[in-house]
Amino acid sequence: MQRVEILKRIFDDITDECVITSTGMISREAYQIKDRDRNFYMMGSMGGALAIGIGLAYSRPDLKVIVINGDASVLMSLGTMVLLKKLKLSNLKHYILDNNCHSTTGGQPTCSDAVDFHLLSDCIVLKTDKQKGQAPRIPLKPVDIQRRFREAIRIKEK
């Protein structure tokens, strides 16, 4: 299935969850499908999305956190999946969209076909087509993505 179709299905079920999206086309397509204040588009720092999700879910157990990762990004920071296994965060859901390639940069192959991500920690692995995707760059400034996300989940003082 195309990645964009899988992302649409994921976002169909989302209500008030915080969503951290990984580098490249995953963030761009998520922006096109359902832009919302509670989406944090991590446009650089490849491999860092799960760590951000862990920090948020660990420090804010009142929130439900979803991380949407790609196979290449996960492979860059496999240790973070082991940490997640250790922490067992019940308010964090980790999707891995696995197309076995770096599709944003031209489809160069990854080695994701040699690993079963489920062995490392809880995750939902969804196999997707190798198609590059057509989504344009996200027209938001990074600082604005950060500010609106933080404001949307701010604990209001009584």
Partner 1 sequence: MRLGIPYSKCPYESELPCTSEEEAIGIAVGVWLGGGEAKCFMQNSGFGRCIDIITSLLLPYDIPIGLHINNRLDLHHEYMGALCPVICKGLKYLNESSMISQTSV
The residues that touch partner 1, with contacts defined as CB under 8 A, are 20, 40, 42-60, 63, 77, 79-80, 82-83, 86-87, 142-143, 145-146, 149-150, 153-155
* Minimum distance from residue 5 beta carbon to partner 1 (Å): 28
Sort strands 92-98 and 101-102 into parallel, antiparallel or unpaired: unpaired
The helix, strand and coil proportions of the chain, stated in percent and rounded to the nearest 5, come to: 40, 20, 40
**Closest separation in Å from C-beta 84 to partner 1:** 10
Report, in Å, the least distance between residue 150 CB and partner 1: 5
Output 7 or 56, the one with its CB closest to partner 1.
56
User: With respect to partner 1, which residue has the nearer C-beta, 87 or 111?
Assistant: 87
Backbone phi and psi for residue 63, each to the nearest 5 degrees, phi listed first: -100, 150
Q: Closest separation between CB of residue 142 and partner 1, Å?
A: 4
Q: Which is nearer to partner 1, 6 or 84 (CB)?
A: 84
Label residues 86-111 b or e (16+ Cβ within 10 Å = b).
Answer: eeebebbbbbbbbbbbbbbeeeeebe
Measure Cα distances from 120 to 27, 71, 102, 149 in Å: 24, 13, 21, 29
H and E: helices and strands count for the chain: 6, 7
What's the length of the chain?
A: 158
In whole angstroms, the minimum distance from the beta carbon of 63 to partner 1 comes to: 7
Closest to partner 1 by CB, 57 vs 72, is 57
**93/128 with CB nearer partner 1:** 93
